[in-house]
Structure 1
Amino acid sequence: MKIFSGTASTDLAKSICSYIGTNLGQTQVSRFSDQEIFVEIGENVRGQEVFVIQSTSAPANENLMELLITVDALRRGSAKSITAVVPYFGYARQDRKTSPRSPITARLVAKILAEAGINRLLTLDLHANQIQGFFDVPVDNLYAMPEFVRHAKARLKTEIPLVVSPDVGGVVRARAFAKKLGADIAIIDKRRERANVSEVMNIIGDCGDRHCILIDDMADTAGTLCKAADALLEKGAKSVIGYVTHGVFSGPALERIEASKLSSLFATDSINASAHSDCEKIKVITMANLLGEAIVRIGDSRSVSSLFD
Structure 2
Amino acid sequence: MTVSERPLPERLALSERLAQSRRQPLLVFAGQSNRPLAQAICDNLGIPLGRSKTEKFTNDNLIVHYEQSLREGDVFIVQSFSTPVSDAIMELLLMIDAAKSASAGRVTAVIPYFSYARSDKKDSPRISIAGRLVADILQEAGADRVLTMTLHAPQVHGFFKVPVDHLSADLVLSAHFKQCVPDADRGVVLAPDAGSIKRASQIARRLDSGLAMIDKERLSDTEVRPRALIGDVEGKTVFIVDDEISTAGSLVETVNIARSMGARDVYVAVTHGVYTGPAIERIAALDVTQVASTNTVYVSPEKVAASNGKLAVLDVAPLFANAIANIHTGESVSTLFE
User: Which of residues 94, 103, 112 in structure 2 aligns to 1:69?
Assistant: 94
Asked whether the 8 Å contact 1:174–1:185 carries over to 2, the reply is yes
**Deviation (angstroms), 1:128:** 1.1
8 Å CA contact 1:196–1:221 kept in 2: the answer is no
Instruction: Tell me by how many angstroms 1:197 deviates.
Output: 5.2
**CA displacement 1:263-295 (0-9 Å, x = unmatched):** 111100000111622222110001100001100
Q: Which amino acid aligns with 2:134?
A: V
Residue 277 (1) aligns with residue 288 (2): no
Q: In the alignment, which residue of structure 2 is the partner of 1:293?
A: 322
**Partners of 1:271 and 1:197 in 2: CA distance:** 26
What one-letter code is carried by the residue in structure 2 that aligns with 1:277? V
Alignment partners' CA distance in 2, 1:195 and 1:186: 25
Sort the Cα spacing of 1:196 and 1:153 in 2 relative to 1 into closer, same or farther, 3 A. Answer: farther
Residue 210 of structure 1 pairs with residue 236 of structure 2: yes
Partner of 1:105: 130
TM-score, normalised on structure 1?
0.97
**Match for 1:8 among 21, 26, 33?**
33
SS in structure 2 of the partner of residue 96 of structure 1: coil
Whether 1:60 and 2:81 are equivalent positions in the alignment is: no
Is the 2:70–2:103 contact (alpha carbons within 8 Å) kept by the matching residues of 1? yes
Change (3 A) 1:227 1:277: same
Is the counterpart of residue 245 in structure 1 residue 271 in structure 2?
Answer: yes
1:191 aligns with 217
Find the counterpart in structure 2 of residue 306 from structure 1: 335
Q: What is aligned with 1:118?
A: 143
Q: Which moved more, 1:190-199 or 1:103-112?
A: 190-199
Q: Distance in 2 between matches of 1:272 and 1:196?
A: 27
Query: Is 1:29 equivalent to 2:54 in the alignment?
Result: yes
Which residue in the other structure is 1:182 paired with?
Answer: 208
Q: Deviations over 1:235-272 (max 9, x none)?
A: 11101111100111111111111111121111000001
Higher mean displacement: 191-200 or 70-79? 191-200
Distance in 1 separating the partners of 2:240 and 2:183:
18
Q: Is the 1:197–1:223 Cα contact (8 Å) retained in structure 2?
A: no
- Residue deviations 1:46-72 (CA, integer Å, cap 9, x gap): 010000000011111010000000111
**In 2, Cα distance between equivalents of 1:192 and 1:15:** 41
Q: What is the one-letter code of the residue matched to 2:226?
A: V
User: C-alpha displacement at 1:199, in angstroms?
Assistant: 3.2
Asked if the contact 2:304/2:310 (under 8 Å) is kept, the reply is no
CA shift digits 1:148-188 (9 cap, x unpaired): 11111122112421000000111101111101111111111
Normalized against structure 2, the TM-score is what?
0.89
Structure 1 residues 256 and 194 mapped into 2: Cα distance closer, same or farther (>3 Å)?
farther
Cα distance change on mapping 1:256 and 1:198 into 2, 3 Å: farther
Q: CA deviation at 1:192?
A: 4.5
1:121-140 equivalences in 2 (<5 Å): 121-140=146-165
Q: Distance in 2 between matches of 1:144 and 1:182?
A: 18
Partner of 1:85: 110
Matches of 2:284 and 2:216 in 1, distance apart?
22
**2:12 counterpart residue number:** none
Deviations 1:101-139 (A, max 9, x none): 111000000000000001000000011111111001000
C-alpha displacement at 1:194, in angstroms? 5.5
What secondary structure is seen at the aligned counterpart in 1 of 2:103?
coil
In 2, Cα distance between equivalents of 1:245 and 1:18:
21
Match 1:170 to one of 177, 196, 199? 196
1:198 Cα deviation from its structure 2 partner: 4.4
Contact 2:290/2:312 (8 A) holds in 1:
yes
3-state SS of the aligned residue for 2:117? coil
Tell me the distance in 2 between the aligned counterparts of 1:52 and 1:231.
41
Structure-1 separation of matches of 2:271 and 2:139: 25
5+ unaligned residues in a row in structure 1: which ranges?
none
Q: Contact between 1:185 and 1:205, CA under 8 Å: does it hold in 2?
A: yes
**For 1:46, what is the secondary structure of its paired residue?**
coil
**1:143 matches 2:168:** yes
Cα distance in 2 for residues equivalent to 1:61 and 1:125: 20
